[in-house]
Amino acid sequence: MTRQPAYLKIYYKLKDQITGKAYRFGQKLPSKRQLADTEHLSVITISHAYDLLAEEGYVEARERSGYYVSYDDSDPFLSGNGNYEEDGSARETSGISPDSREIFAVPAVEHFPFLTYAKTVRKVLSDEGEKLFVKSENQGRLDLREAIASYLRRSRGMEVSPAQILLGSGAEYLYGIVVAMLGRDKVYGVEDPSYEMIEKVYVQNGVSVEKLKMEPDGIRSSALQETGAEILHVTPFHSYPSGATADATKRAEYINWAKHRNAFIVEDDYDSEFTVKTRREDTLFSMEPDRHVLYINTFSRTISHATRVGYLVLPNELSGELLSKVAFYSCTVPVLDQVVLRELLNSGEFERHINRVRRNLRG
């Protein structure tokens, strides 16, 4: 078993204490030297843990004062607080101007190494032979779904079973599957601005779409409180084209919204593999894996745009019910592509590529 670095142990310990209210919003944390003495660790180790907490929005550093808890998961949908002033008027925020969107354009990343991909294809053709002509299960091949579940556990901290995973030919196809599962009689809330294909696919599938204004950390709180949407489609990490990334408090707000409304969140996680942070943010799915979050990701950005393979992860308690609504659909991903992806995931080549690109993006 891989040994966890000391700074990550401190990070998780403090994170649990913050989310568990041992340290409350606005409260000062122990100084780095004080905590280093208590934990018998170096100040550098504690500093690294605090930096991670600050990156994810759990704490904020105040010059010559220390670190203070900035995470606030109080439920504005029950308390009526949210983003409002004392007189009840909406608080003015800077938002995101259209002119600023180019600043946050998605950075170019290198494709998966072609020679490695070609070598893997040759190996699959040689090893599998005519077995590649056997039709896939409707959800996708079990061995690939097992490989994806294992990858999500390692890379995103998501505990899912292969039975919760459905494969499809890209994100746009899976948006349509979401509508077939959740219903056309619902209002779907989307980020404004957002990737234009999200709204187009939903409208094409006959559903009502409501646009919710964005701020630098995600959907504006007042818009979230006032929306009539029953399904919320969000991109918590590096939303396109705004570049907004939801911090820990905003992610908790999304989850509170879904629980209070008994609603669903579609988490579109297309770009999170290429974060330059030393630790990836928690997914909404990992924060609420049982009933309210459906998770979508693809291999289009991590391998190439020509790789039209995506996957949908369903909430644990509802996966059987939701899958029954689309059980008659055949899998739209070719068997050869599925087996090649299985090999790339199981061999470690996929994660080596991800780690190499992340190192290059850090410079």
CATH architecture label of 6-71: Orthogonal Bundle (1.10)
Percent of the chain with pLDDT over 90: 54
Compute the mean pLDDT over every residue in the chain, rounded to the nearest whole number. Answer: 86
Beta strand extents in 129-244 (DSSP E only): 165-168, 187-192, 208-215, 218-219, 231-234
Encoding tokens for residue 356?
Answer: 């190499």
- Which residues, including other chains, have CB under 8 Å from residue 140's CB and lie 6 or more apart? 165, 166, 167, 311, 331, 333, 338
pLDDT band (50, 70, 90) for residue 88: very low
- Which residues, including other chains, have CB under 8 Å from residue 157's CB and lie 6 or more apart? 282, 283, 286
Per 3-state DSSP, the chain is made up of helix, strand and coil in percentages (nearest 5) of 45, 15, 40
Where do the structural domains in the chain lie, given as residue ranges?
Answer: 6-71, 114-362
- pLDDT at 13 > cutoff 50: yes
Residues 161-209 pLDDT 10s: 999 999 999 999 999 999 999 999 999 999 999 999 999 999 999 999 9
Residues 217-241 pLDDT 10s: 899 999 999 999 999 999 998 888 8
Most confident of 9-13, 70-74, 199-203: 199-203
Question: What pTM, to 2 d.p., does this model score?
Answer: 0.78
Encoding tokens for residue 279?
Answer: 């630790």
Half-sphere exposure of 15 (CA within 13 A, CB side): 20
Please state the rounded mean pLDDT for residues 305-322. Answer: 95
For position 103, what pLDDT does the model report?
A: 34
DSSP state of 288: S
Q: What is the DSSP string of 34-57?
A: HHHHHHT--HHHHHHHHHHHHHTT
Tell me how far apart the alpha carbons of residues 188 and 24 are, in angstroms, rounded to a whole number: 34
- pLDDT at 54 > cutoff 90: no
By residue count, the chain amounts to 363
Q: How far apart are the first and last CA of the chain?
A: 30
Tell me how far apart the alpha carbons of residues 167 and 179 are, in angstroms, rounded to a whole number: 15
C-alpha 299, offset from chain centre: 14
- pLDDT at 279 > cutoff 70: no
- pLDDT at 16 > cutoff 80: yes
Lowest mean pLDDT among 2-6, 187-191, 211-215: 2-6
Please state the rounded mean pLDDT for residues 321-350. Answer: 96
Tell me how far apart the alpha carbons of residues 307 and 261 are, in angstroms, rounded to a whole number: 36
Phi, psi of 209 (to 5 degrees): -120, 135
Please state the rounded mean pLDDT for residues 37-56. Answer: 85
Lowest mean pLDDT among 70-84, 140-154, 272-286: 70-84
CATH architecture label of 114-362: 3-Layer(aba) Sandwich (3.40)
Beta strand extents in the chain (DSSP E only): 59-62, 66-69, 165-168, 187-192, 208-215, 218-219, 231-234, 264-268, 293-298, 310-313
For residue 236, which of 202, 199, 271 has the smallest C-alpha distance?
271
CA separation (Å) from 293 to 97, 169, 193, 283, 288?
29, 21, 21, 10, 7
For residue 187, which of 223, 222, 218, 233 has the smallest C-alpha distance?
233
Domains 6-71 and 114-362 alike in fold: no
Encoding tokens for residue 316?
Answer: 């644990």
| Higher-scoring residue by pLDDT: 177, 361 | 177
- pLDDT at 1 > cutoff 50: no
For position 358, what pLDDT does the model report?
A: 80
Lowest mean pLDDT among 35-44, 77-86, 225-234: 77-86
